[in-house]
Amino acid sequence: MVEHRHVDIDPVSRHIRTRRLLLRPWRLDDDIAACAIYGVDEVARWLCPALPGPVDRGDMRRMLSAWMAERDAAGLPLGRWAITDKRSGQVLGGVALLPLPPGCSDLEIGWQIAPAMWGHGYGAEAGHAVAHQAFENAGLSEVFAVVRPDNRRAVATARRVGMEWVGETTKYYGLSLHVYRLRKADLDLPEPACADVTEPTT
């Protein structure tokens, strides 16, 4: 069982604290750490939409700058956060809650963790915290994750947070994607929310 229940939210600083993590707004001086996440193929190949190409430090600073402006415009519960180690401050990854185009009526959680930090539950802990703040502070009843076929690690993380597989669609980003949904009532389930759903193995 994954221990996720501890979530503290500061709406002014937009900081979200969990047992091991501090989620905080991105800063420009995160550029090198962010390159170790978004600039590596193990992460970039799974992003939806895909990045236009390899990401260098200059590209990353431009992306961070755009993310910071987007955050200032959106207000909670939407946004992008750097996932950091609460004790050391090390940037471990990124997590976002954003409207899904084209309709923008569904909200998507996306997770990215630096490959060297996979296997510690940081993605699931951060995803849970962002969903928690969306449900508790903004009155949302459901959020989604869209996952490329074969992205088994992302599927496992979605299930750990309590998400259910709801189907396959080409509705988002012009890609064929599997859709997972998290309902507020399922957030803290210790086991996958719907164990009898047979997911595709492709």
Ligand X SMILES: CC(C)(COP(=O)(O)OP(=O)(O)OC[C@H]1O[C@@H](n2cnc3c(N)ncnc32)[C@H](O)[C@@H]1OP(=O)(O)O)[C@@H](O)C(=O)NCCC(=O)NCCS
Alpha carbon separation from 185 to 59, 130, 136 (Å, rounded): 40, 15, 11
**By CB under 6 A, which span of 59-67, 108-116, 184-192, 193-201 interacts with ligand X?**
108-116
Please tell me whether residue 144 binds ligand X under the rule CB under 6 A: no
3-class secondary-structure state, position 158: helix
- For ligand X (CB under 6 A), the number of binding residues is 21
Please tell me whether residue 173 binds ligand X under the rule CB under 6 A: no
**By CB under 6 A, which span of 57-65, 66-74, 99-107, 150-158 interacts with ligand X?**
150-158
61: amino acid identity, one letter: R
Taking residues 30 to 69 in sequence order and writing x for each that binds ligand X by CB under 6 A, - otherwise, the string is -------------x--x-----------------------
Please tell me whether residue 113 binds ligand X under the rule CB under 6 A: yes
- Ramachandran bin of 11, using left for φ above 0, alpha for ψ from -120 to 50, beta for the remaining angles: alpha
Please tell me whether residue 153 binds ligand X under the rule CB under 6 A: yes
Please tell me whether residue 123 binds ligand X under the rule CB under 6 A: yes
Question: How crowded is residue 105: how many other Cβ atoms within 10 Å of its Cβ?
Answer: 7
User: Closest approach of Cβ 76 to ligand X, in Å?
Assistant: 20
Tokens 């604290």 identify what position?
A: 17
List residues binding ligand X (CB under 6 A).
2, 43, 46, 110-113, 118-124, 147, 151, 153-154, 156-157, 160
